[in-house]
Structure 1
Amino acid sequence: MEYFLSVVKQYVNFEGRARRREYWMYILFYLIFYVGAVIIDYVIGLGLIALIYSLALLLPSISVAARRLHDTGRSGWWQLLALIPLIGAIIVIIFLVQDSTPGDNKYGSNPKGING
């Protein structure tokens, strides 16, 4: 939960690097809360809660993905590949799953520590 809140607090921080754990824990809690919002929408019959939730967390999701790509040595603009149907999303997921580049890169120091 602390990773989720940390990302939400840094919602406009597109600089630096984010570890795999930070990114994937954010995604896990995002999905858990999204499923909860969908269930509430279904019970209420309104259908707006999940939409509002998704829109509210759009910017934090983009920023943490950019920092995660920075950790692999890529620009955050690589996220735009996800706009290509199927293939683009698969490529971006592969980039997001990869390990950090050891040591410092042009986006900052390695969040894992000195030795990677």
Structure 2
Amino acid sequence: MPTQRKQFGRRGVDQHMTPSWSRQQTSVNSGPVAQAYASPGYGALPEDEDSFSIFKVFGFTLGMLFSFQGRIGRAEYWTIGLIRFVIFIGAAIAYGSTLQPVNGELDSLVFMRGFVETTSGVMFLLLFLALTVCLYSLEVRRLHDRDASGFWLLIMFIPIVGGFYALWLFIANGFFAGTPGHNRFDTGHSQAAVFD
């Protein structure tokens, strides 16, 4: 009597009915998405030109952090902003721990000279510049979500007034809802049609 080998994860599937990976089943009435979900043995998504790649993920992430076009909601604003803040604080602590105090004191001169004299200072400065661009990108896209131009950020560079405006902008962008529906700053990927 021949012994049948167990096949884990294949219970109830007839071996003669299982399609092979090399051929696809076609049907006149079913599209590729319905076919992918209905056909046993296939992956959830069909292979096409929009397949997954690490370069697409990397490009999407860079676009999410540094793009000045489109709009983002409050959840993305807070999520990316908090991650950016945690990275900045961690980098500042790491940079501060690499400095050597002079005569037992760590003054501002030692801190500032460390930016140009040490490798960690240059790395922190480059990271600080990247995080600053990320901050302005977030603020511009939140302004776009509220149907305002990103040029309103230039008010922040006016002495005295800029500090108060930055505080108001943080409150408005962080807590006020954006424009419902479409506005003039929409792009193809900035707002899903499901939420309209």
Instruction: Normalising by structure 2, report the TM-score.
Output: 0.49
Q: Which amino acid aligns with 1:43?
A: S
For the Cα contact (< 8 Å) 1:103–1:114, is it kept in 2?
A: no
**Structure 2, unpaired ranges of 5+:** 1-57, 100-113, 116-120
| Identity, % of aligned positions | 28
Scaled by the length of structure 1, the TM-score of the pair is 0.77
In terms of Rg, which structure is larger?
2
Unaligned runs of 5+ in 1: none
**Shift of residue 55, structure 1, vs aligned partner:** 0.8
- Determine if the alignment matches structure 1 residue 9 to structure 2 residue 62: yes
Q: Which residue of 2 aligns with 1:36?
A: 90
The aligned counterpart of 1:111 is 191
Equivalent position amino acid for 2:166 in 1: A
Is the contact between residue 16 and residue 108 of structure 1 (CA under 8 Å) also seen in structure 2?
yes
Kept in 2, the 8 Å contact 1:82–1:89? The answer is yes
Residue of structure 2 equivalent to 1:102: 180
1:15 alignment partner, SS class: coil
Counterpart code for 1:53: L
Q: Is 1:19 aligned to 2:73, yes or no?
A: yes
The amino acid across from 2:151 in the alignment is: W
2:151 matches 1:74: no
Alpha-carbon shift at residue 73 of structure 1 (Å) = 1.0
Q: Deviations 1:39-71 (Å, cap 9, x if unpaired)? A: 111211145143221112232322222111100
Aligned residues: 112
Contact kept in structure 1, 2:88 and 2:131, CA below 8 Å: no
Classify the secondary structure of the residue corresponding to 1:57: helix
